[in-house]
A and B are shown apart, each in its own frame.
Chain A
Amino acid sequence: MFPDKFTFSIAEPINYAVNWLVLNYGDVFEAFSNGILWVLLGLEGVLRGSPWWYVLFLTGAITYIATERFSQSLVLIAIAFFMGVLGLWDQAMQTLALMLIAIALSVMIGLPCGVALSKSNRLRMIMLPILDAMQTLPSFVYLIPALMLFGLGKVPAIIATVIYAVVPVIRLTDLGIRQVDQELLEAARAFGTGSFQRLFGIELPLAFPTIMAGINQTTMMALAMVVLASMIGARGLGEEVLLGIQRLDVGRGLTAGLAIVALAIVLDRITQGYGKRVQSMRRGGET
Chain B
Amino acid sequence: MTAILLNNICKVFGADSAAALHLLQEGVGKEEIRRQTGAILALRDVSITVGRGEILAVVGLSGSGKSTLLRVVNRLIEPTDGTVTVYGEDVLGFSGAALQAFRRQTVSMVFQGFGLLPHRTVTENVGYGMVAQRRPRHEWEEMSRQWIQRVGLSGYETAYPFQLSGGMRQRVGLARALATQAPVLLMDEPFSALDPIIRHDMQDLLLSLQAELQKTIVVITHDLNEAVRLGDRVAVLNDGSIVQTGRPAEIILRPANDYVSGFAVDVNRLRTLKACDIMVPSHAGQAIDLTVAEDASIEEVLSYQVLRKEPIKVTNSAGLVVGEIEWEAVRALLKRDI
Contact residues of A with B, CB < 8 Å?
Answer: 181, 183-184, 186-194, 197, 201-202, 205-206, 282-284
Contact residues of B with A, CB < 8 Å?
Answer: 74, 76, 99-105, 107-109, 111-113, 115-119, 128-129, 132-133, 160, 162-163, 176, 180, 186
Contacts A192-B100, A282-B119; A187 near B109 (Cβ below 8 A): yes
B132 touches A184 (CB 8 A): no
A190 touches B109 (CB 8 A): yes
B76 touches A186 (CB 8 A): yes
Min distance, Cβ A286 to any Cβ of chain B, angstroms: 9
Min distance, Cβ A64 to any Cβ of chain B, angstroms: 22
Q: List 29 A-B contacts (CB under 8 A).
A: A183-B111, A183-B113, A183-B115, A184-B115, A184-B116, A184-B117, A186-B76, A186-B111, A187-B109, A187-B111, A187-B115, A187-B116, A189-B103, A190-B76, A190-B103, A190-B108, A190-B109, A191-B104, A191-B128, A191-B129, A191-B176, A191-B180, A192-B103, A192-B132, A194-B100, A205-B119, A282-B118, A283-B162, A284-B163
User: In whole angstroms, what is the CA distance A123 to B111 when docked?
Assistant: 32
User: In whole angstroms, what is the CA distance A189 to B103 when docked?
Assistant: 8
User: In whole angstroms, what is the CA distance A193 to B115 when docked?
Assistant: 14
Min distance, Cβ A179 to any Cβ of chain B, angstroms: 13
- For A284, what are the chain B residues with a Cβ–Cβ distance below 8 Å? 160, 162-163
Contact of A191 among B112, B119, B132, B162 (CB under 8 A): B132
Classify the interface of chain A: helix, strand, loop or mixed. helix
User: In whole angstroms, what is the CA distance A184 to B115 when docked?
Assistant: 5
- Most B CB within 10 A of own CB, among A184, A205, A283: A184
User: In whole angstroms, what is the CA distance A201 to B117 when docked?
Assistant: 9
Given contacts A191-B103, A192-B105, 13 further A-B contacts (CB under 8 A): A181-B113, A186-B115, A188-B128, A190-B76, A190-B109, A191-B180, A192-B101, A192-B102, A192-B132, A201-B117, A205-B119, A282-B160, A283-B162
Classify the interface of chain B: helix, strand, loop or mixed. mixed
A282 touches B132 (CB 8 A): no
A282 touches B109 (CB 8 A): no
B132 touches A197 (CB 8 A): yes
Min distance, Cβ A284 to any Cβ of chain B, angstroms: 4
User: In whole angstroms, what is the CA distance A202 to B115 when docked?
Assistant: 11
User: In whole angstroms, what is the CA distance A189 to B109 when docked?
Assistant: 10
User: In whole angstroms, what is the CA distance A192 to B100 when docked?
Assistant: 4
By beta carbon, the residue of chain B nearest A186 is: B76
- For B107, what are the chain A residues with a Cβ–Cβ distance below 8 Å? 190
B76 touches A202 (CB 8 A): no
Contacts A190-B103, A194-B100; A206 near B118 (Cβ below 8 A): yes
By beta carbon, the residue of chain B nearest A202 is: B117
User: In whole angstroms, what is the CA distance A190 to B116 when docked?
Assistant: 13
- For B101, what are the chain A residues with a Cβ–Cβ distance below 8 Å? 192
User: In whole angstroms, what is the CA distance A181 to B119 when docked?
Assistant: 13
- Most B CB within 10 A of own CB, among A192, A194, A202, A282: A192
Min distance, Cβ A188 to any Cβ of chain B, angstroms: 8
Min distance, Cβ A95 to any Cβ of chain B, angstroms: 35
User: In whole angstroms, what is the CA distance A190 to B184 when docked?
Assistant: 12
Min distance, Cβ B178 to any Cβ of chain A, angstroms: 12
Min distance, Cβ A283 to any Cβ of chain B, angstroms: 6
By beta carbon, the residue of chain A nearest B74 is: A190
User: In whole angstroms, what is the CA distance A20 to B296 when docked?
Assistant: 92
- For A187, what are the chain B residues with a Cβ–Cβ distance below 8 Å? 109, 111, 115-116
Q: Which 6 A-B pairs have the closest CB atoms?
A: A187-B115, A192-B104, A192-B103, A190-B109, A191-B129, A192-B100
Contacts A183-B111, A192-B103; A206 near B119 (Cβ below 8 A): yes
- For A192, what are the chain B residues with a Cβ–Cβ distance below 8 Å? 99-105, 129, 132-133
- For B112, what are the chain A residues with a Cβ–Cβ distance below 8 Å? 183
Min distance, Cβ A185 to any Cβ of chain B, angstroms: 9
Min distance, Cβ A242 to any Cβ of chain B, angstroms: 45
Contacts A186-B76, A282-B162, A283-B162; A191 near B109 (Cβ below 8 A): yes
Contact of B76 among A181, A189, A282 (CB under 8 A): A189
Min distance, Cβ B145 to any Cβ of chain A, angstroms: 19
- For B186, what are the chain A residues with a Cβ–Cβ distance below 8 Å? 190
B108 touches A191 (CB 8 A): yes
- For A183, what are the chain B residues with a Cβ–Cβ distance below 8 Å? 111-113, 115
User: In whole angstroms, what is the CA distance A84 to B106 when docked?
Assistant: 65
- For A197, what are the chain B residues with a Cβ–Cβ distance below 8 Å? 132
- For B115, what are the chain A residues with a Cβ–Cβ distance below 8 Å? 183-184, 186-187
- For A186, what are the chain B residues with a Cβ–Cβ distance below 8 Å? 76, 111, 115
- For B105, what are the chain A residues with a Cβ–Cβ distance below 8 Å? 192
Min distance, Cβ A123 to any Cβ of chain B, angstroms: 21
Min distance, Cβ A204 to any Cβ of chain B, angstroms: 11
- For A184, what are the chain B residues with a Cβ–Cβ distance below 8 Å? 115-117
User: In whole angstroms, what is the CA distance A188 to B186 when docked?
Assistant: 14
User: In whole angstroms, what is the CA distance A184 to B119 when docked?
Assistant: 12
By beta carbon, the residue of chain A nearest B97 is: A194
